[in-house]
């Protein structure tokens, strides 16, 4: 929601395949690894990865790279025997940038707050991906970093270090993918967490793992099964209003092409939200159906409807039970377990309109989301986005976005949190390898009924240098 920094979306390696890569000739894997080793690799590849590999120039080099692949995909043990032999290309499309940023109220403190003040920074940005690809698989490793010198609000933490890995393996009818993400940033980059801290930011570490299998049942239908795990930890959680948490989820999805313009999907799944110690948890069972339609060459629509059944479990102690001990009577706290359940609808609706020189997208959604506030919460979003490729070198963007966070089972002291932002952007492709990006935003935050509204303006200017595709 903030525009203080043009942080890449978090919301993203293939063990010896994820991001698109060129294809090339590759030796018969059965000659390189042996049929049994290849079967073992395909069966047991787990996806905590790293997307590296290298061309197979000679036997020694293939062996060395195979050992590196096994280590870097540690995480993806199975290709250790043959990762190098399956290799085809290793490349990178890196970029670095220099950014100057200003925000008049980074913590969106209420108007008139005595300690509300702005912050400015100068930062170095780097995006250093490595991509390995072959005819059947790909592996991507994408480090992204931001190092800044900040003046103004001393408590503002705006640096980040991201490492994303994705592995992709394809056969005639099956596709396996695995991804692992390591994100170290701060609560400044999450509007809801930022609001809970009232004038400061905390270090935030997020670890994500994801496994997905897709089976083509026919030319028109396929089946997906996936599991995911997300863990978030803060540098300090006691007395801050935020709690460390983990969220795990499993889903099964059936997808059917109804016609050249219609795609229909049905999904069922379960999820569990839990805070450390296991005393508090939320269980979520859900089902949803979606329809994607290309209404014409200019219009496209996505409509989704679903239902979630949420159960919250909580344990705590109340005072007290009177017991008789060796030294007389004493009080002992009593463990009490409580639970509550509730069903709720969820939805997503979007319309896209394409013109000759512009694209406009209108979207609205409601969904249960894990949060650092101690529970699964209901998040409503609505947005209007426009992208205008004005010329071959100039691209303009605009976005109006609003979000609301509410309790799912009324177990928190939270009432309503509302956020809104208006963003404008311009990107100029100066030369083939140099570009300049200008972003501006206006942000609003309203936490509770009757409370003053916090607002702020953010501006950042970034100079990027792209290095193009480089063979490694």
Confidence at residue 309, expressed as pLDDT on a 0 to 100 scale: 94
Q: Are 212 and 225 in contact (CB under 8 A)?
A: yes
Alpha carbon 63 to chain centroid, angstroms: 34
Q: Within 10 A of 379 (CB to CB), how many other CB atoms are there?
A: 19
pTM of the complete model = 0.75
Give the pLDDT score at 448.
65
| pLDDT at res. 2 | 42
Measured CA to CA, the distance from residue 193 to residue 187 in angstroms comes to 6
Which distant-in-sequence residues (6+ apart) come within 8 Å of 115 by Cβ? Answer: 109, 199
Residue 266 CA to its chain's centroid (Å): 22
- Contact status, residue 460 vs residue 208, Cβ threshold 8 Å: no
- Gap between the Cα atoms of 65 and 60, Å rounded: 9
Q: What distance in Å separates the CA atoms of residue 262 and residue 369, rounded to the nearest whole number?
A: 28
Q: What is the DSSP string of 113-178?
A: -TT---EEEEEEEEE--EEEE-SSEEEEEEEEEEEEEEES-TT----EEEEEEEEEEE-SSEEEEE
Distance CA 256, CA 349 (A): 19
Residue with tokens 């009818």, as numbered in its chain: 173
- Return averaged pLDDT per consecutive 10 residues of the chain, 472 residues in all: 40 34 35 36 34 37 38 38 57 94 87 68 95 93 94 81 96 95 93 81 94 96 97 82 92 96 97 84 95 95 96 79 81 79 93 94 95 88 95 95 85 68 96 95 80 85 92 77
Helix, strand or coil for residue 70? helix
* CA dist., res. 194 & res. 107, Å (int): 6
Specify the DSSP class assigned to residue 367.
E
Q: Where are the alpha helices (DSSP H) in 73-229?
A: 191-196
* Distance, CA of 155 to CA of 164 (rounded, Å): 27
Which residues, in sequence order, are CB contacts of 327 under 8 Å at separation 6+? none
Place of tokens 């220099």: 98
Classified as helix, coil or strand, 147 is strand
For residue 290, which of 305, 278, 275 has the smallest C-alpha distance?
Answer: 305
pLDDT at residue 408, rounded to an integer: 80
In sequence order, which residues have a C-beta less than 8 Å from that of residue 366 and are 6 or more positions away?
Answer: 345, 346, 347, 348, 378, 379, 380, 381
pLDDT at 238: 63
pLDDT score recorded for residue 313? 83
pLDDT at 204: 94
* C-beta atoms surrounding 465 within 10 Å: 14
């Amino acid at each position: 929601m903030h525009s203080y920094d043009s942080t890449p979306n978090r919301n993203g390696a293939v063990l010896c395949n994820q991001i698109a890569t060129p294809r090339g000739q590759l030796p018969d894997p059965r000659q390189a690894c042996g049929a049994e080793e290849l079967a073992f690799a395909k069966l047991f590849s787990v996806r905590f990865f790293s997307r590296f590999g290298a061309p197979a120039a000679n036997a020694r080099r293939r062996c060395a790279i195979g050992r590196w692949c096994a280590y870097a995909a540690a995480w993806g043990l199975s290709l250790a025997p043959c990762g190098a032999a399956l290799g085809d290309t290793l490349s990178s499309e890196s970029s670095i940038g220099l950014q100057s940023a200003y925000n008049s109220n980074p913590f969106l403190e209420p108007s008139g707050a005595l300690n509300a003040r702005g912050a400015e920074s100068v930062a170095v940005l780097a995006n250093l991906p490595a991509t390995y690809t072959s005819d059947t698989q790909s592996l991507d490793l994408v480090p992204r970093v931001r190092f800044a010198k900040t003046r103004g609000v001393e408590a503002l933490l705006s640096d980040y270090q991201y490492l994303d890995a994705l592995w992709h393996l394809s056969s005639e009818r099956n596709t396996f993918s695995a991804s692992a993400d390591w994100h170290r940033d701060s609560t400044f980059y999450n509007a809801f967490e930022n609001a809970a801290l009232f004038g400061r930011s905390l270090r935030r570490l997020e670890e994500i793992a994801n496994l997905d299998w897709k089976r083509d049942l026919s030319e028109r239908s396929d089946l997906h099964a996936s599991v995911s795990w997300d863990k978030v930890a803060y540098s300090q959680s006691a007395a801050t209003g935020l709690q460390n948490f983990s969220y795990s989820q499993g889903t099964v999805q059936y997808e059917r092409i109804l016609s050249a313009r219609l795609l229909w999907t049905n999904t069922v799944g379960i999820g569990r939200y839990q805070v450390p110690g296991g005393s508090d948890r939320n269980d979520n069972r859900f089902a949803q159906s979606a329809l994607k339609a290309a209404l014409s060459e200019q219009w496209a629509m996505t409509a989704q409807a679903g239902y979630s059944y949420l159960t919250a479990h909580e344990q705590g102690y109340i005072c007290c039970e009177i017991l008789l001990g060796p030294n007389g009577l004493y009080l002992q706290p009593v463990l009490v377990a409580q639970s509550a359940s509730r069903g709720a609808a969820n939805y997503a609706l979007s319309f896209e309109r394409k013109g000759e020189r512009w694209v406009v997208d209108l979207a609205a959604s409601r969904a249960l989301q894990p949060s650092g506030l101690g529970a699964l919460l209901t998040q409503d979003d609505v947005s209007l986005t426009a992208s205008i490729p004005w010329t071959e070198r100039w691209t303009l963007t605009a976005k109006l976005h609003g979000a609301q966070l509410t309790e799912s089972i009324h177990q928190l002291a939270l009432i309503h949190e509302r956020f809104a932002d208006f963003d404008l952007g311009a990107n100029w492709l100066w030369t083939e390898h140099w570009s300049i990006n200008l972003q501006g935003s206006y942000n609003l935050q309203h936490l509770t009924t009757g409370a003053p509204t916090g607002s702020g303006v953010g501006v950042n200017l970034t100079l990027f240098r792209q290095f193009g595709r480089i063979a490694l």
